[in-house]
Structure 1
Amino acid sequence: MELLTTFILSVFIVYKSFRTPMVGVALLLQINIVRSLVGLDIFNPCFYCREPDFILGAIVPVLCFVVIIIKLRLSGKVKYVLDYYDVYFTSTILVLFLTSIYSKDFINSIGFSLKYIFLGSSYYFISKIILINVNNPYKQLKSFFIWSLGITVIFGLLGTYLYIFKGEFVYRLTLPGVHAIPFSQLIGLGVFVSFLIFLTSGRIFDIQSKFSINLNKVLLPVTMLILFGTNTRGVMLSLAVAIIFYLYAAKVKIPKRTLYISGGLILAGLIVVINYIELEVLFSRILAKQTNESTESRYIAYIDSLDLFIKHPLGIGPSSFKYYSSLPYPHNLILENIAEYGVFGLLNIVYLFCIILYMFKLTITKARISPWFIIIFSLFLYYFFETMFSFTLWMHKGMYLFMGVFAAHHYLYRKNK
């Protein structure tokens, strides 16, 4: 049964990647959540069973990227434009292989580097290639967002059901076999998309159906409550940054009536949810004291990373932090770069921040001309801020994807101008 489910999911994702490439990318971005359907037992779910799935986790994404390239090639010559953003990814790949030479575990470091190329940075390149080469890039982009919201609603409601009725000893809302952080990131993305639909009454995504617009008014508070249930502080903070920046850059003025209605719906939803989930459980990590395990591990990451940077200025190699610390990796993009890649990593981070400032300047100066700059950069910020709290280098595919989308939009803007 599990093999059949894997086969059906694989065929569906590959088909969507060929049919509508950005929809395929939307599914691949959430592949960790999608693959939880394999072996899912809704009657006796195992929330802490996390077995690797090489087919859906590695083979299908690479296969889909190849299929997308073939699809674009069949439509004509595939074009690619080099720019400032590509320098960051090229230099990172060079640093990975250079520092692998003198790492403690060469094979492990090379494996990590290949993951970064095929399962991480590939999201930057493929999203950029798609939007530059398709005839209707913004229709593709809108499909990406609508599908992302749909995936959020489906998996969010499924996770909520299992959490409420089957997750007696589970303290963070997620799906069986899925870590709470990527699940929370999916929900946060859906909340942002739903928020945009709510603010623009569907205009930004060409939604004209009154039923869909009114349905979204229900989905927004529901997805927000699901996000609270994930108890993931980093994602909540990142989403707050993204929304605040969007409101600031777009100069949005929300009517008081809208605020009252939204607040009332959220409050009513909270009352309902609290009837099923104890308040202490729902907000346990948000209200936790600074002495909790998560904070202590981050303190260790800071100390160990700075110590490694001083003692090994040329770095220790990819995925080598675990040999010098009690932690597997620093859970912070900046710390990981300086700890594992030394001065090379530091230069890479400096260049990345220069790119971010460049993206910020473009967004602010072009905001009135093209609102897509604001949307894309806001979502880049959403994923970038989470890199300060979670994951390792090859796992930041959301950030890489929106860098690619931003680069493509910038190119299309210059071309049309």
Structure 2
Amino acid sequence: MSGWRQLQVDDGSEVPAGRGGAACTALDGRRILCFGGADREPRAFDDLWLLELGADGQGHWTRVSPVLKLSRKRKLLPRSGASITYVPGPGGGPGKVYVFGGQEPASGAIFDDLLCLDTSSWELTDVTLEQQVQPQQTAQPPPPQPPQRPPGRHSHVAGLYEGRGLIIFGGAGLRGPLADVWAFQPSSDGAVDGSGTSGSWRCLSGGLAEDQGPERREMAAGCMISEAGLLVHGGRGADGGLLSDILIFDGRAGRWVLSQDTGVPRCAHTACNAAVQQHAAQQQPATSGGQGAAAAGPQPADSSGSTKAGGGGGAAPGAGNVLLFGGFDGEGVAGDLLQLTFRREQRGAGSRSLRAELRPVKAAAEGAPQPRFAHAAAVLPSTDGTSAEVVLFGGVNAEEDLSDVHIYTL
């Protein structure tokens, strides 16, 4: 049955301090890893917390103390607005978490480091970046070389790219908000040397003119809608104004394939796509109560986010599976749950366009989280495996720094 509930923590479990700007990612099973953030002092955190959800409906927090094998640092520096992305291991075994960027709010320091946390050994290492081959020297001055890594940033959007790497968009750097898209891919052999896992960055938006991309922004919400399709909503622009557009970037084509205003300005909110978990639930036998919540699961989607041929009016990937929560709407802290849906509109003879809409989700007030922004969210399979759950952690509002956990079951 769909709806909200507040997670109860079992006896003996520690609880993280209240914070905003933390990052979280879903691991294998029903586990979520959270990192960093800051309170309103502001005091930044460098802690890692593992939340395990039990079959009894309760949760257990464990503080993770990684084995540090950092070549240039003696410790993991505290930060807020970083991203952490889980890459599953071979055969679904324990994978690796990539930590990128962030800011130390008191000093204003912005990070550009990429770290790797192995979830089998809990070792944290630097990632060794492979250098791109430079052209041979000639009599003519060599052309300017493109950057080989993204500039430091915080409050960006990140996701799992092509099932084995990391994609990032936007955020705020030393010179303000950004609008670039980068992908990191580990070495093909998964080599690990003395300084950490190796791989390389590639700028996916490097071939686009400035007018072919969206407005620069930070604190947008985003999620993957396919292996190479990144969806972004809102954020705060370079002029400080709130944005309300929906964007889709096709990583394989290296271009933005959708840009449309929704009329819903928002920043510091979250977006989660439950389609993957619902698709997996569809493969399971129906429960005794009928087809279950996954009966309305997603249609197959291509990298641009459009569904393949067939199926009525052509809803976009897993219509009804992308959920947005909370944030700041320009007037106050929001506490609403929004559902992203797509429809095809007739534009002329034989021409139809894709249109995105955000609609409020009606849910009982009992168990619902209070309004907040700068919270973290991830998607897990439900306890019975027939649906998906959106798990919210922390955030801040006008009164307090939060550390509670709320779960919305689809």
Shorter-chain TM range is: under 0.3
Higher relative contact order (CA 8 A, sep 6+): 1
Query: Counting helix residues as a fraction of each chain, which structure ranks higher?
Result: 1
Q: TM-score, normalised by structure 1?
A: 0.26
